[in-house]
Amino acid sequence: MKRIGMLTSGGDCQALNAAMRGVVKSLINSNEEVEIYGFLEGYKGLIYGNFKMLTGADFAGILTKGGTILGSSRTPFKTIKDPDENGLDKVEAMKQNYYKLRLDVLVILGGNGTHKTANLLREEGLNIITLPKTIDNDLWGTDMTFGFQSAVDIATDCIDCIHTTAASHGRIFIVEVMGHKVGYLTLNAGMAGGADIILIPEIPYDIDKVVEAIEKRHSRGSKFTIIAVAEGAISKEDAALSKKDYKKKLETSPYPSVSYEIAAKIQERTGQEVRVTVPGHTQRGGSPCPYDRVFASRLGAEAGELILAGEYGFMVGYKNREIVKVPLEDVAGKLKMLEPDASIIKEAKLLGISFGD
Ligand code: F6P
């Protein structure tokens, strides 16, 4: 008999349900008797003992369902050791709830912040297995996270739609893609949608180079330009600021996001109309794409194997086309970023895509 706790934490994404279903199906198919405790709304559920008991039936029919049947929330790691407003020691409370339910393992699905807390719980002596989710694909130790390919599909659809209207009106369009710290999603959706300019956090842009790229297109007869901008795109001047000064600049900026600032600067320099489209949270919503359904199911099934073998303290990840187990202490606190000299960036440049650098 295995007693398993499960929670989904941080920003949601597609295929969370598919991954949990994978874990449960593989355990049930092994004929091991299992008791499943689903903690609600991420670590909050574990802290405050808010859970529901689940059976195999709860995981039926959810392979294609977006969101998470357990709910999710953000519980920032930087305050996890601070007592809550009623003086509760949150880490101690999580441990107590784990022990009270006599869990064998806690399966945690999450991204970067989630993994820091997961590793802390491991250090505190709990048995932990994690699964890598995020549309940002920025989790260290895995080449791929589930949610990413589904989000690429949605952001690409958005760019595709913008393409036709941009062409009709001969306008410059910016599509703002999610990703505050890394540009995987913007780069992939931008390339898939045929964007002419792609601006990502890893490559600070020079607005003059952006304008140059637009003018070059226009001089060759193209009346419209599509720019894919990551939420965290940053200019060379801003990248030179201290963290504190940059934060202040963002707080006092008259623009709702970096895309609007870029749009205003392009409009000022070229005199042309610029429009901004922000698909926002649609990128995290809806049904997972087939790739994510398969990928998340595979990760979940392998997590089930680890549980049966009593191997804990790992994230189930994907490296060089193999499912691998990565020690949690190696994953926690590290961000996987795009290298500016990555082969995909080189190839994008060969295609004529400008990164504004
Ligand atoms: O979960 C990752 C992510 O979707 C990022 O791409 C995005 O910047 C952020 O979350 C948005 O967070 P929230 O849902 O809290 O607004």
What topology does CATH give the domain 2-147+288-331? Rossmann fold (3.40.50)
Tell the residue nearest (CA) to atom 14 of ligand 1: 11
Q: Is 178 in the pocket of ligand 1 (CB under 6 A)?
A: yes
pLDDT > 90? residue 341 = yes
Instruction: Copy the structure tokens of residue 56.
Output: 């195999």
| 318 phi, psi to nearest 5 deg | -140, 120
Q: Is 12 in the pocket of ligand 1 (CB under 6 A)?
A: no
- In percent, how much of the chain has pLDDT > 70? 100
Work out the average pLDDT over 185-198: 98
Q: How far apart are CA 193 and CA 146, in angstroms?
A: 21
Work out the average pLDDT over 29-44: 96
pLDDT digits (tens, 9 = 90+) for 268-295: 999 999 999 999 999 999 999 999 999 9
Quick one: pLDDT at residue 174?
Answer: 98
pLDDT > 90? residue 31 = no
Q: Is 136 in the pocket of ligand 1 (CB under 6 A)?
A: yes
CATH number for region 150-284: 3.40.50.460
Where are the domains positioned within the chain?
2-147+288-331, 150-284
Please, which residues bridge with residue 229 across strands? 176, 199
Tell the residue nearest (CA) to atom 5 of ligand 1: 179
Ligand 1 centre and the CA of 104: distance in Å?
31
pLDDT > 90? residue 126 = yes
Contacts of 77 by beta carbon, 8 Å cutoff, 6+ apart: 113, 116, 117, 120
Over the chain, what is the mean pLDDT? 97
Dihedral sign from CA coordinates of 332, 145, 228, 67 = negative
Ligand 1 centre and the CA of 179: distance in Å?
7
